[in-house]
Structure 1
Amino acid sequence: MNETLIIIGLTLLGLCFGSFVNAAVWRIKKKKNLWNDRSQCVHCHHKLAAYDLIPVFSWLSLRGKCRYCKKPISRQYPFVEVAVALFFVGSYLFWPYMLTGVAPWLIFSLWLIAGVMLAILFIYDLKWLLLPDKATFPLIGVGVLTVAVKLVTAQDIATTLISTALAVLILSGIYLIVFIWSKGKWIGFGDVKLGLALALLLGDWQLALLALFLANLIGCIVVLPAMAQNKLKRTSHIPFGPFLIAGFIIAGLFGPAIIDWYLAISMIGIPTTDTI
Structure 2
Amino acid sequence: MLGQSLFLTIYILTIAFILGAIFGSFINCMAWRIANGESVTKGRSHCAVCGHPLGALDLVPIFSYIFLQGKCRYCGKKISPRYMIIELVMAVAFVAVVVRFDVTFEAMRYLVLICILMGLSLVDLDKYIIPDRFIIAGIVWWAVTLPLMEEPWQMQLKLGLIGAFAIAGGMLVLSLLFDKVMHKESLGGGDIKLFFMTGLYIGPWIGLFNLILACIAGIVFVIVLKQKKIPFGPAISLATFFSILFGCEVVNWYFTLL
Alignment of 1:1-276 (within 5 A): 2-95=8-101, 105-150=104-149, 153-155=150-152, 157=154, 159-181=155-177, 182=179, 185-202=185-202, 204-223=203-222, 225=223, 231-232=226-227, 236-264=228-256, 266-267=257-258
CA distance in structure 1 between the partners assigned to 2:32 and 2:47 by the alignment: 10
- Which amino acid in 1 is paired with 2:208? L
Q: Is the 8 A contact 1:142 1:201 kept in 2?
A: no
Distance change >3 Å, CA 216–CA 170, structure 1 → 2: farther
In 1, the alpha carbon distance for the partners of 2:76 and 2:224 equals: 35
Q: Distance in 1 between matches of 2:25 and 2:224?
A: 31
Percent identical residues: 30
Which structure has the bigger radius of gyration? Answer: 1
Q: Provide the residue aligned with 1:273 in structure 2.
A: none
The 2-side partners of 1:154 and 1:62 are apart by 47
Three-state SS of the structure 2 residue aligned to 1:110 is helix
Residues of 2 paired with 1:171 and 1:37: CA distance?
40
Distance 1:222 1:69, change over 3 A: closer
User: 2-side partners of 1:49 and 1:137: how far apart?
Assistant: 33
Structure 2 equivalent of residue 271 of structure 1: none
5+ residue gaps in structure 2? none
1:210: Cα distance to partner?
A: 0.9
Shift of 1:156: 7.8
C-alpha contact (below 8 Å) 1:171/1:198 kept by paired residues: no
Superposition RMSD on alpha carbons, in Å? 2.2
Look up the equivalent residue of 1:250 and give its one-letter code: F
Q: Is the 8 A contact 1:144 1:201 kept in 2?
A: no
Query: Runs of 4+ in structure 1 displaced over 6 angstroms?
Result: none
Aligned length: 248
